[in-house]
Chain A
Amino acid sequence: MKLALKVTEIEQLSPLVKRFRFEDPKGASLPVFSGGAHITVEMPEGDTIRRNSYSLISDPYDGSGYEIAVRREDRGRGGSLYMHRKLSEGDDITVSTPANLFQLDLRARKHVLIGGGIGITPFLSQLKQLDMEQKPFELHYAARSREEAAGLKLLPKAAHIHVHLSEEGARMDLGAILDGQPMGTHVYTCGPEGLIAAVADQAARLGWPKSTVHSEAFTAPPPGEPFDVVIASTGQTVTVKADQSLLEALEAAKVEINYSCRGGVCGRCRTKVIACEGRILHNDHWLSIEERAAQKDIMPCMSRFKGTRLELDL
């Protein structure tokens, strides 16, 4: 289901990050959600609709509006630039209903949340949920400098919320954070790939069971060189432009395809490859190393192609 909303607030949180608030034009209440949920935002540009997913940062039980924080990616496909440059207060905006691929495991006896840079966003809604649940937790937010740390404006001041600014010499020490946590603790990481890998590494070294280590690597699809794909059912050739994702190109060509996260983590868009002469540039977080190597499947929301022929089972 889609929600037709209005942009009611835009706030510059840091030089690169803006906060947006969307509300129903008639003031109707929006569906509430769970901590860590995201929405997909539609950005019409010319003949295509770009869709990016963003974590909700507002109170999950407050249906009066949805808020997101968007970092401007100057070398991205243009989604964040649209949000930063084209969108003004009062504009119409279409978003999806919330979905959650990064929920808290509510059985945990304690939660450790680790956010790097813009990766702080999913934790902002989770904090509200944790407060209501009265569950013990600690949050660690790492950013380069005070100026870049957009999350500082959104985080409450509390003893269990720790800010690590590397420019001020306060680098995050993952060993110290994870060591000695009580049995039943779960850790959640969101941010750059490097941070996610470092937390996973450290947890493994300390013998944390895999199912207690959670992460979300939400990234928008990267731009790249244009390429063509052939749709097996119709024989039609679809051209994917440099600043378009394969999924967006398929949608623009009216090819039916499933999706949810548009960030390579939910698995919904998985598509069979019938012929592949060349190399699939897998940018998703869904396929295993073996599946990637086999080149028999592609995740169109994130991945691209370099070569002479790619035929999809669509």
Chain B
Amino acid sequence: MPKTEFSPSIESRPTYPGLTSQGSAPAIMVADAAGAEALVDLVATDASVMDHAHVVLIAKAPELAAKLTALTPKALHEAPDLDAATPLVTQILDTAKMGTQLYLAGSEGVIGHVSALAFARGLPMEAIQSEHRGSIARRMQCVHCKGITEDVTTDPFVCAHCDLTLFMRDHFSRRLGVFQAVCVDAETPGVVPATEEIRP
């Protein structure tokens, strides 16, 4: 799957310009299954990018892991999902030195969440590269109960925690790595617009 092109939106909505090799510098790469392809493409432009790279693959996919191992990173770490990946990424970030490059690839949820972890450890946004691949599902935070619903692909949708019907906003918090969702029928309870699949 190629890199996703999103339609222009508001200032707080992140964009994902794509990955560019910063050469043979210390690096942390985090990708989900779809994002792994972006890493393969990255290495095709510059093999040295893997010299000092810790790669975290968030997927249950041995064949993908093998493919990434073949790119000879310094280390490959695997995690079945974002929750399991979090302590792993955190630990790598905590011991990282200045100059470490961060490459993120995959869904908005993975990119947003790992960016937030890195940002909290003092890595400025400008030092974080990202490329969107695969599902355009969003990680949404319910503004009412603060619960996060993963992989949302429709608008409106039902909050997984408080059951309110929510509409999606493009407003995005880098600190939390989530989009904002707000009750769609707050003023007129029960009057809910038709559900639509989201588009990039």
Contact = CB atoms under 8 A, between A and B. Distances in A.
B partners with A: yes
Interface of A: 107-109, 178, 180-185, 206-212
A183 B123 CA distance: 7
Nearest to A207: B99
B98 A208 contact: yes
Contacts, number: 47
B122 A207 contact: no
B124 A211 contact: yes
Contact of A107 (B26, B100, B101, B122): B122
B69 interface: no
Contacts of A107: 122
A209 B127 CA distance: 6
Interface of B: 22, 25-26, 93-94, 96-101, 121-124, 126-127
B54 to A, nearest CB: 13
Contacts of A181: 97-98
Contact of A207 (B22, B93, B124): B22
A183 B93 contact: yes
A55 to B, nearest CB: 26
27 contacts: A107-B122, A108-B122, A109-B121, A180-B98, A181-B98, A182-B97, A182-B98, A183-B93, A183-B97, A183-B100, A183-B123, A184-B121, A185-B98, A206-B98, A206-B99, A207-B22, A207-B98, A207-B100, A207-B101, A208-B98, A208-B99, A209-B123, A209-B126, A209-B127, A211-B124, A211-B126, A212-B124
B22 A183 contact: no
Nearest to B26: A207
Given A107-B122, A182-B98, A207-B100, 10 more contacts: A180-B97, A180-B98, A181-B97, A181-B98, A182-B96, A184-B98, A207-B22, A209-B123, A209-B127, A210-B126
A206 B100 CA distance: 9
A108 B123 CA distance: 10
B98 A109 contact: no
Nearest to B122: A184
B124 to A, nearest CB: 5
Contacts of A185: 98, 122
Contacts of A184: 98, 121-123
A209 B143 CA distance: 33
A207 B99 CA distance: 4
B122 A109 contact: yes
Contacts of B122: 107-109, 183-185
